[in-house]
Amino acid sequence: METNQLTSLSLLDRLQQPDNDRDWEMFLSIYRPFIRKHLLRSGIHQTDVDDVLQESLAEMLIALPKFQHNGNTGAFRKWIKTIVVRKSYRVLQQHAKTKYAHLQASEQIEQFDQSLEQMMEREHDQHIVNCLLKMIRPEFTETAWSAFELQVLGGKKAAEVAELLGGTTNSVLLAKSRVMRRLRKLGQGIVEC
Amino acid sequence: MLKYPTDNSAHPTDDQLHSVINGYPLDSDEIEFVESHLETCGHCQTRAGNLDFDPLARLIQKASHQKSHETPKISAGYELIEEAGRGAAGIVYEARQPGTDRRVALKMLVGGANSKASDLARFKREAQALSRLDHPNVVKIFDVGEQEGVPFLAMEWIDGRSLAEFLKTNTLNYQQAATLVAKLADGMQYVHQQGILHRDLKPQNILVPASAEQSSLKNLNEDSHPKKLKFKSAKICDFGLARFSDPGEFHTRTGETLGTPSYMAPEQIGNQANPVTEKTDVYGLGAILYECLTGRPPFHGNSPLETLKMVVDRDPVAVSALRPNVPKDLEVICHRCLAKNPKDRFATALELQQDLERFVQNRPIVSRPIPVYDRAIRWARRNPWPVTVVCLLLAAVAIVIISQLYHSQKLASQRDEALDQYQASRAAIWKMLDVARNESDFEIPRLQELQTNQAAIALELFESLAQTENTQESLMDLARVQMVLGSGLVAQGQADEGIQHFQRCQKTLQKLFDLSPDNLETLGALISSQVKLAHTLNRQQKTDQAIQILQATLPLAQRLHEQTPDNVGHANLVAWTHHNLGTAYVSANKRQLALKEYESAVQIRELARKNSPDNDELLRFLAESQVSLAVCQMALETGDVGKTYLKAIETFNEIEKRNPDDINTIVSKGVAYLNYSNVLAGKNDGDGAIDACTRGIVAIEKALAANPKQYNAKNYISMLYGNRAVFCSQTQKTRQAVDDWRSAIKFSVVDSTRDFCRRALVRDLLVLSKIDEAISEMENFKTAMTDHEGQFQLATLWSAICNARKSQGATGTKLRSFQETKRILTHLSHQGYFSKKPTAKKSVSTGDEFRQFKILAGPEFVDKL
């Protein structure tokens, strides 16, 4: 695929293109530590974490092309979570005998599901946004990026920023809009805002 | 430029403005319109600047905060100034903490360079615990982390010298020595109170700061300008991290000479009669004091092995023999620290400190002089030097020398010499590896680490040999050491690594097998390795894999057995395979299949027993299978469970006859009796059940007499007493039951069991009309049973006491039992307990136990619950 064609697609769309290895590497490098952290936090045994992680990522690889966003908020998050929970099921079953002996196996799964859901709600979007920002950073000049950061992160008004950076108010506003648009496009379907 | 355009061009709506500035997807036309409008319209520019905050923007803001939370307070990017020294643990750098002027000592633990994530995690956890220590005599740790896989510690930088260095060319006077060690003891007392042990106290690990004005002389000749050292500020460092620095005590990877065990306490040297405790550190402090006074460590032989033997067997040369004018008190204190039996030392570092301070202040000390030679001899005789440790040490030295020679490859003749030495040491190496067969040896933690490290070194050697020689012998060597290493790693908790080695072992054996398929020894080894692998996999919850492997192994083992029907070892292999398959099936919840496997295992072993009746190892395995079979039968409610248990007990008895001190067998026998008593109770044989409990109690008491701190044994005997109490209670032997409940409580290790027993005790005391005793037992519940259920049960008991009082003739609302009942019930009622549990309310209103209470409290009270 041509690069300029790629940039007009969201990351999800891009991932659904065949043979898009680079984007997949990016995607996996985003989600691998994230999922891993949550598995570990959920109390899954260290030795099982890598197994579940591998299987989950593999499943995502296979299933993503068929994924269709149904328009509900958090649909992608839920999709990821469903995969992870499904892959963790077996591990939790076994552990249901040891760590959570007082809980029924089904209760155990439910708890895992819920806590993962909460964690993802709290952290997923923030984490992805940071990664997406990193991805689009190279497409903008220093000034444009600073203009964006000062307005969005620093909460400064456009006129103030223009003075700081020595540009026009208009150019500052433009920079912010361009970055936001790029981010929104890229994260469409993954980040819900 | 006019503020408000007078021409017809419309301004974008708020929505449009908001959408464009915040990057919402719009028609390109619309975007164009807004953008070009903004170029010239200052009014809209201002509007755009005042828009509401967009949710995505808010998210980005939040996300940026999350990022800064995740950066650690002190990053790994320290500025290194210069290398400060190399120790056994690794390299120490003087460094500066980024962003500050603070100087730190950055210790890079090179020995841990290839550690696995779990090791690093463990190290970090322990180091973080240490970083919370805050005491003037303990080196402060600021930070712990890892840089490219190498763990590091950032500690306070101390301008000064180690005590060891200082003592090489100087001595301390008595006051200085006593004060120094007293301060160290103070530090150790603090550390112990935080629940941490040092385990490696020696002069090298004590840093003595120099006073500020002298530090500028650092670059001058150190010997001619003795620094003014502040001994009172001496600091302890390198806590128990020796484990992470390098697993082998006697061989370091930074290329130093073999380290010295001169300061190790006897209980650290593979003798498990005494555990490593605070008193081990007291010993270490004593060793330091000894060296301060005499200039040499308490023990120093010509080789590490010799030194170790001296630590265990001999008494240190008396301080007064080396320094005739030493005050008697100080000598006594020193030797008390160095007592072989920890019980003879100071109980805590605090006591040591206090005695030292008494000495310094010229007050009489508390310690009594120990008869010097007497105790050491008695102690050594009780705890003979374990053969395995000797072999390990021999092997340790041998292997180090050999691998160094072998790898140096300077001259062909040197290589041949190495090979010769290798052949000569094979006996020692195999003796060491034979230790692997008996898993119980792996309970000695130090031994375990030593051995795993030896196996790892041996592995390097054998691997290169196998590549060049590729003979049957060298392949077999390789397979065996892979097996040992695998077992060792599993026993140390590194199951994944262990499994990898098992798998490599299998491959090696497969290679061997292909070379000579008729070699029975190889076949036997192959089977062993597969069973071991399956066993480990099962423990790691990978049961399906384990079952697969065992099912594949079984025909091999059977073939081996058929070819050599008289060989007991081979028979045992088949049985072992069956047994492990049974265990795997149990894990997979396929008990019917497990039953068949256990039956086979028992059958084969019983047959083998006929061929070699005195084989204790075989008998132990037989008993294990019999017990597993009985448990399985019981779960499936099939077969004659009682008979199976009796057979197991009979086997235990036979083992015990020849090995009266075998604690494991005795305890297993006790447990078998415990289970057997349950079987008998199920058949309504009350007297039989009581008898079984009694026998079990006798057995476990024997075990406890040998080692009173055994947690398992305490648990089992508590259960036995509890069982017997139940059976006695049911057969109206209430007095006996009361005694037994008390014993069960005494030995119990689990809170819920203790409470259960105590409740039963109270009831039985009431049966015997011992109301006062029952009430005093109720006192013991105070801290336990704080949940609602538990409280209700307490109320029930109080109420029962109330009933009993009535039958004695005393009654009335002033009774304590009545008041307690009322108090608890009221409390529970306020907490809504009775609305949640209507059955409880029913018990109160209609139950017999609350009979008297109801009368006294009145019907309105019960209704209001």
- The 10s digit of each residue's pLDDT in B688-706 is 999 999 999 999 998 888 8
B107 or B380, which is more confident: B107
Per the listing, tokens 């500050």 go with B100
Q: Which of B206, B150, B152, B151 is nearest to B181 (CA)?
A: B206
Q: Is B118 in contact with A173 (Cβ distance < 8 A)?
A: no
Residue A70 has pLDDT above 50, yes or no: yes
B513 or B393, which is more confident: B513
Q: Indicate the Cα dihedral angle A26, A27, A30, A36, nearest 10°.
A: -130
pLDDT band at B372 (very low <50, low <70, confident <90, very high): very low
Residue B516 makes CB contacts below 8 A (sequence gap 6+) with: B472, B522
- pLDDT recorded at residue B98: 62
pLDDT band at B598 (very low <50, low <70, confident <90, very high): very high
Residue B61 makes CB contacts below 8 A (sequence gap 6+) with: A152, A153, A155
**Lowest-confidence range among A75-79, B311-315, B508-512?**
B508-512
Q: Percent of chain B scored above 90 by pLDDT?
A: 14
- pLDDT recorded at residue B624: 87
Query: What sign has the CA pseudo-torsion B539, B541, B545, B546?
Result: positive
pLDDT band at A2 (very low <50, low <70, confident <90, very high): very low
- The 10s digit of each residue's pLDDT in B207-259 is 988 764 333 334 433 343 345 678 888 999 876 554 443 333 333 322 222 34
Euclidean distance between CA atoms A76 and A121, whole angstroms: 11
- pLDDT recorded at residue B388: 42
Coil, helix or strand for B236? strand
pLDDT band at B384 (very low <50, low <70, confident <90, very high): very low
- The 10s digit of each residue's pLDDT in B267-325 is 876 545 677 788 999 999 999 999 999 999 999 877 666 777 788 778 899 898 888 88
Mutation target among B32, B59, B70 for the A interface, most CBs of A within 10 A: B59
pTM for the whole thing?
Answer: 0.42
CB contacts, 8 Å: A162 with chain B? none
Euclidean distance between CA atoms A98 and B609, whole angstroms: 36
The span from the first CA to the last CA of chain B, in angstroms, equals 82
- pLDDT recorded at residue B385: 40
Burial class (CB in 10 A: 0-12, 13-18, 19+), A129: buried
What's the rounded mean pLDDT across residues A95-120?
64
CA angle B821, B822, B823 (to 5 degrees): 95
Q: Is B20 in contact with A191 (Cβ distance < 8 A)?
A: no
Smallest Cβ distance to B48: which of A95, A173, A183?
A173
- pLDDT recorded at residue B421: 52
Residue A136 has pLDDT above 60, yes or no: yes
For residue B63, give how far its alpha carbon lies from the nearest alpha carbon of chain A (Å): 5
CA dist B352 to B2, B226, B282, B359, B698, Å? 90, 30, 8, 11, 41
Rg over alpha carbons for chain A, rounded to the nearest Å, is 20
- pLDDT recorded at residue B507: 81
Coil, helix or strand for A192? coil
The answer to whether the beta carbons of residues B574 and B555 sit under 8 Å apart is no
**Token pair for B47:** 């509007």
Smallest Cβ distance to B45: which of A48, A158, A184?
A158
- pLDDT recorded at residue B510: 77
Mutation target among A98, A129, A136, A190 for the B interface, most CBs of B within 10 A: A129
What's the rounded mean pLDDT across residues B755-760?
86
The pair phi, psi for residue B151, each rounded to 5°, is: -70, 145
Q: What letter would DSSP give residue B831?
A: T
Q: Is B54 in contact with A125 (Cβ distance < 8 A)?
A: no
Q: Is B61 in contact with A152 (Cβ distance < 8 A)?
A: yes
Strand partners, B93: B83, B106
What's the rounded mean pLDDT across residues B711-715?
80
**Lowest-confidence range among A103-117, B174-188, B440-454?**
B440-454
- pLDDT recorded at residue B818: 87
B258 or B738, which is more confident: B738
Q: Is B49 in contact with A123 (Cβ distance < 8 A)?
A: no
CB contacts, 8 Å: A46 with chain B? 117-118, 121
CB contacts, 8 Å: A191 with chain B? 56, 59
- CB contacts < 8 A, A to B, total 91
The pair phi, psi for residue B154, each rounded to 5°, is: -110, 120
- pLDDT recorded at residue B374: 40
Q: Is B49 in contact with A159 (Cβ distance < 8 A)?
A: yes
What's the rounded mean pLDDT across residues B655-670?
87
- pLDDT recorded at residue B694: 94
Q: What is the mean pLDDT of chain B?
A: 76
- pLDDT recorded at residue B249: 33
Residue B520 has pLDDT above 80, yes or no: no
For residue B32, give how far its alpha carbon lies from the nearest alpha carbon of chain A (Å): 11
Element holding B240 (H helix, E strand): none
What's the rounded mean pLDDT across residues B637-655?
89
- pLDDT recorded at residue B159: 79
- The 10s digit of each residue's pLDDT in B786-815 is 677 778 888 888 888 988 888 888 877 788
Other CB atoms within 10 Å distance of the CB of residue B770 = 18
A91 or B82, which is more confident: A91
- pLDDT recorded at residue B381: 37
Minimum CA–CA partner of A181 in chain B: B23
Burial class (CB in 10 A: 0-12, 13-18, 19+), B497: middle
- The 10s digit of each residue's pLDDT in B827-862 is 888 888 888 878 888 888 887 888 888 888 877 887
Please give the biggest Cα pair distance in chain A: 66
Residue B386 has pLDDT above 70, yes or no: no
- pLDDT recorded at residue B304: 66
Phi-psi region of B149 (alpha: psi -120 to 50; beta: other; left: phi over 0): left
**Lowest-confidence range among A56-65, B289-298, B601-610, B646-655?**
A56-65
Domains present along chain A, CATH in parentheses: 3-124 (no CATH), 140-193 (1.10.10)
